[in-house]
Chains A and B, each alone.
Chain A
Amino acid sequence: MDRFSRKRPGRSRSSIPVALAALGAIPLVLIALNGSAQDALPVPEVRPEPRQIEAPSFRQQQFRRGDTNADGTVDITDAVTGLEFLFKKGEPPPCMEAGNSNGDGQIDVSDAVFTLSYLFAGTRAPPAPGPDECGVDPRESTLGCDEYALCSDELALITHVLGRITFGANVDLLSRIQTRRDLIDYIEEQLAAPSPYDQATHEPELDREIEALDIGFKGDRPLTANNQVQRVKGMLLTDAIESEWQLLHVVAQFWNNHFHTQIDTLPQSFFGRGGRGGGGLRSSRELFNLFDTDGNGILSESEWNAVKAAHPSAIRWEDFGRGRLDGITAEEFLNRNQIAYWKYRARREQLGVAADMERREYDFYRRSAFGKFRDLLEGCSKSVAMLIYLNGFENTVREPNENFAREYFELFALGVDRVYTQRDIEELSKVFTGWTVGWVRRSLYAADDINFQDHPEARHFLINRREPAPLRFPDTSNWDDSVYTWAFVLSHLDRNGNRTDQHDWSRKDLFLRRFGGVDSLGNPADSSDQLTIPAVTTTSQQTRQAALREFDLVTDRVVNFRDCAKFISTKLIQLFVTDDLSLLKKTYPMPAELRARFDSVDRDRNGIISGAEWSAPVPLVLPNGRPPEIFDELDADGNGVITEREYQEPDLLLDAIAAWRDSDGTIRDVLRAILLSDEFLSLKFRRAKVKTPFELVTSSVRALDAAIDTDALLTTTNDLVLAGQELFNFADPTGESELGFDWMHTVGLLERLKYVNRAANPATIAERRVTWNPNGLRSRWNLTTGERTVDFLNLLLHSGDVLPEQRELALEVYGSVSAFRRIPATTAFLLSLPQFQKQ
């Protein structure tokens, strides 16, 4: 240091306080210089007066470099202030680093020269953060910045955004993201996550952890780990807590829930049908020989009935044969259910297979989370878990099942009663006939299309024809789950090229105007929406490619409906911004397509749709007019007319739909439109969402920087169930709600309170849910008093949002327990606050 430079003595970076901005309705939090100064400054009693707390150093004070006197602009007075400080023993600059105009790590005469030169000679501007914008010193500052009132900390905004795009903020992120610019950079970084994401490549360590959860079968040996349902749930928790690609996982888990499948139903549906024909200790061949009492190689009805008499749980004869009741050959005896049964005999093992199916499905959504929605929809349709869950695997021309087709429209692509009708569901279910599940060599599938393509060779391994002749069952040469897997196949031709065609080749008509379907604004289908798939009557043209092309035709049409973009965009806005889209601003002029639709109903062109206009018949299409329930939805104020403003959609939704269209339904682009919007990057919706129990757990664990061992992880999945969150086991195909009122009820809140106490401050070892280090926290952040502890945790967990009375209560908790319990008990109390239930 030369003699013309001065430093404030005795300060280290770790004790630099910050000034926090107003946090919504919550009072300003201003920071004193240090502990002694804090004592000197009275704590005001009345809100919204500021009170003083010592801030931890994970937040840095922002400033403008060169603004030595901290008046907001860099001008000649700054040079003067610096020189007075150096030579006339003037007051030290309130923010020393701001006075370090040239960024050389000290304040000396060269700073004044640098500033004057910049101002009057047009030379180089002060280095980052520069003279114009608030920011932090990108380097390790030795000077520090105690106070710079004109640059507020945007912690509130940062935690708001992190609360939505991650599974919880933590010290690392809050240290790293200091400014709005940092925040936007972080969003962009997260949006740039690898796509497709391959965990083994992109996060190998995390991949190993997930592998260690031991989900499903590993090779040709019995299932090693029990609790398979908890294990797949634990996989979600592990990913959420640990992945660097937080946003990608938020979205992946959104898709996993959007395209929900219930794991518990899979064994029942897939293995439960039939498959209970014997005691299970002999090979099926032996059993067949035993049952075939006359030894003619055919199991007759009377022979089977004798079996059933001895084994009442055996399937009925007519179910066994499915219309081919003249007798069952040995090969038919080993039908798909039998084989699945023999291979995975116990429910525990069946759940293991189901867990593996769920894991692969989730892996697909994770890989494709930021990709095109069309691909996600196709992946969902061809997912094994989905094929089983919604009965697609048994939807055949002779025995159609419309379950999946209904949800394809209602839950996955368009929303309830949007565009489609019951008639469309029936037509669509024909498109899906013949889609089923086969036992397929894994090597036929690339890792990222395991849910996708019906591999041409897959038909050799249809599950009802898996065992090559001669029968070697239960020879396990083809049993290895690491070599084979259950996968989507089209039931069409068997391995010998014989037809086993389950596909409905008749004509399919979708979205015909006369079906009477209407879009979300009550408009009948356009004639351009109509889709006709002609019948295929020539056997030679009835190919698997032709059957799969039908799906492509429908799906290409569906993802281009405006209501598809609107449905998915709405759900994403609800995920990230607000449950209630009516709170979003509407400032855009009405887009032409909405205008045209509005005008087509508003026949008198007075700018208002009356009840009479709404209910006027649309000839040949809507004889009873448009649906009244859509009128009620649009008529927000319930005054009996729809105004243009009521009809208009929010700006953010319009932006998201526009991004969808510009990008052909690419989710990354839709996300960018939402996450970089002014409305999201503001405090307008801060803490306006209720955390799910899952989010409560992940945000607690991340904030505490805690570790969870496998046992505790599995127990935690049970905690989630008790709090109302089933994850893979949710009972309805809707998936779990994103809306706050579904999560905030007494039983859920009780379990949340139990969890945070067990995590942060367990009463007994048995209750412990995580391992964390309160002592490390105390020494790292110098949490030696109640006030320091409470204020540190207040910033970390609540971004300073705790009410004064709650702060006092927390101090009371701190003071009421023994020394080693102080930090855990105070943390548990602060995690229990209403604020932490929200994000």
Chain B
Amino acid sequence: MEAFSYVRAKDAGQAANAVGLGGARFIAGGTTLLDLMKLDVERPTQLVDINRIGLDTIERLPDGRLRVGAMVRNSDFAHHAVVQEEYSVVSQALLAGASAQLRNMATTGGNLLQRTRCMYFRNTAMACNKRTPGSGCSAMEGDNRSLAILGTSKDCIATNPSDMNVALTALEAVVTVQGSKGSRDVPIGDFFLLPGTTPHLETVVAPGELITQVTLPAARKGSKQVYLKLRDHASYEFALSSAAIVAEVSGGKISYIRVALGGVGTKPWRSHEAEAALLHQPAEMAVFHRAGAAAVKDARPQSENGFKVELTKRCVAHALTLATQNA
């Protein structure tokens, strides 16, 4: 690990000022950043510790929305009574990710910025446009079994590894970002960037900006929420394909639907195609299969991840089945 200087921020404003310097980075849970610093993938010259700036509470707003501080740990987010009751897709997604130890460390803001697990990104001996722009992509001709089939470009096929982000996408969360010029709210659908020709740019967060909170819209009473994660191991494993569903059924027909996918996209993947195939349709298996097919209509599989196309179809169909049972 390369040398860096260390400062501890007292509040968000102080933190944002401190990190305005080139090469400085915020450190919260550290579960991604320190991992990558040990691999020399991340090389900050200064770390600004934001673990004591507050922003670690979950509160209900008067209009029914739920405000989640950026420093709320993944375990606290997952086990919060209101979240379990009204936003269960987030609890399910968080508890399907990482380990109990990591969930005690990782934060809401940090999870939003989680880096890809692409092995070529993590290995400085290999070419990677995300790590070193212009160096090429070793994954195209390499071991790409776990990588993306949606939202890829000729320069990058790295998967966004987060489960939480998939649930937040289905819930249409809003991310608040604070910079030197004040605060701005970014709908999660606009928060992540497609790789295109600039895979090193992953979100709209600019250098020096700090995520301060995530706001969930007022819960939809009567909706059913499911996070289904398919993976190589039963626990403590990243998704090969996952689906977050928020569904409402009335009179046997789907009256409200949100579908987001994980493990298959270069960003947490909202599937408007699947939603269009479902809305106002009967809640039945034939419709669910059509939605699964619609979700991967634009999929571009690589040499070793073609199985994800079929896996994702079935993941979507099964998650929809679970989300509409007894509805």
Q: Do A and B associate with each other?
A: no
Residues of A within 8 A of B (CB): none
Residues of B within 8 A of A (CB): none
